[in-house]
Structure 1
Amino acid sequence: MSIGENIKKKREKIGVSQKTLAEALGIAENTVASWEKGKNIPPSDKAIDLARFFKCSTDEILLEESEREVVDEMKALFRRFSDLPDYVKPMARNIISGMLSSLELEDYFRDLGGPRR
């Protein structure tokens, strides 16, 4: 779904007209219409205003559904990470980043037909 389709879907879900949404955001009604038709995209400040208006994340406005899906396994890892003490989080980020880089490098060499570790 495009940004415009996301906006229209959210607007229609709560039963708000383009005019009402435009007034709430302090913009012209035809601006909302142009977003929904995909002629223009909202600037970052308006994307934030839209998210606040619809009580959702900016991801729900700006990204396609498939781009914002997180599998349950990853949600569990995110929860575990958020439960870590703040002083440990930078170290955990570095460890995770290093592990991912190593795995990506392994795939890179495999794709080149080079030596495996």
Structure 2
Amino acid sequence: MDFAERLKTLRKQANLTQKEIAEKIGISQPAYGDWERGTKKPTQENLVKLAKIFNVSVDNLLDNNIEEDELANVEVLFRMASDGLTDEEKATFREELIEFMKERKKAFEENKRE
């Protein structure tokens, strides 16, 4: 998944519109739309703002190694186990699930080589 797709996915998961994200960052909606279309890239400063809005690290925001199926699996696990958590706890839990899946995938790939 490229950055533009990841950005759109995170925005939809957060139930926010392009306009709402743009306002939080301090840019226009069309400028934000360019990021989701992949025609322009945000500055480092705006990447940090995006990461804070979505409660993910900048590395996670830019990560291209998580495949769509893996994200779907994370979302299912997340929904099943996050009832009753605060928004902050949910954000942390989601990121930890993604990191766990990456580590497990890496371990499985290493076992295949042995």
Q: TM-score, normalised by structure 2?
A: 0.58
1 CA distance for matches of 2:15 and 2:34? 19
Aligned-pair CA distance for 1:65: 2.8
Alignment length (residue pairs):
75
- What are the Cα deviations for residues 91-114 of structure 1, in whole angstroms up to 9, with x where unaligned? xxxxxxxxxxxxxxxxxxxxxxxx
28-37 vs 62-71, which deviates more?
A: 62-71
Query: CA offsets, 1:35-68, max 9 Å, x none?
Result: 0000011111100100000001112221213498
Q: Which has the higher contact order (CA 8 A, sep 6+)?
A: 2
Q: 2: distance between equivalents of 1:73 and 1:39?
A: 31
- State the secondary structure of the residue aligned to 1:71: helix
- Correspondence 1:35 to 2:67: no
Q: CA deviation at 1:70?
A: 4.1
Deviating beyond 2 angstroms after TM superposition, the runs of 4 or more aligned structure 1 residues are: 65-75
Measured in 1, the distance between the counterparts of 2:30 and 2:18 equals 8
- Cα distance in 1 between the residues matched to 2:12 and 2:105: 32
| Distance change (3 Å), C-alpha of 1:73 and 1:32 | closer
1:71 matched to 2:103: yes
Deviation at 1:26, TM superposition (A): 0.4
Tell me how far apart the structure 2 counterparts of residues 24 and 70 of structure 1 sit (CA, whole Å): 30
Give 1:83-94 correspondences, 5 Å limit.
none
Q: Which structure has the bigger radius of gyration? A: 1
Distance 1:28 1:2 in 2: 22
The match for 2:12 is: 12
Query: Structure 1: where are the runs of 5+ without partners?
Result: 76-117
Q: Distance in 1 between matches of 2:105 and 2:5?
A: 29
User: Structure 1 residues 23, 63: closer, same or farther in 2, change over 3 A?
Assistant: same
Structure 1 residue 33: Cα displacement: 0.4
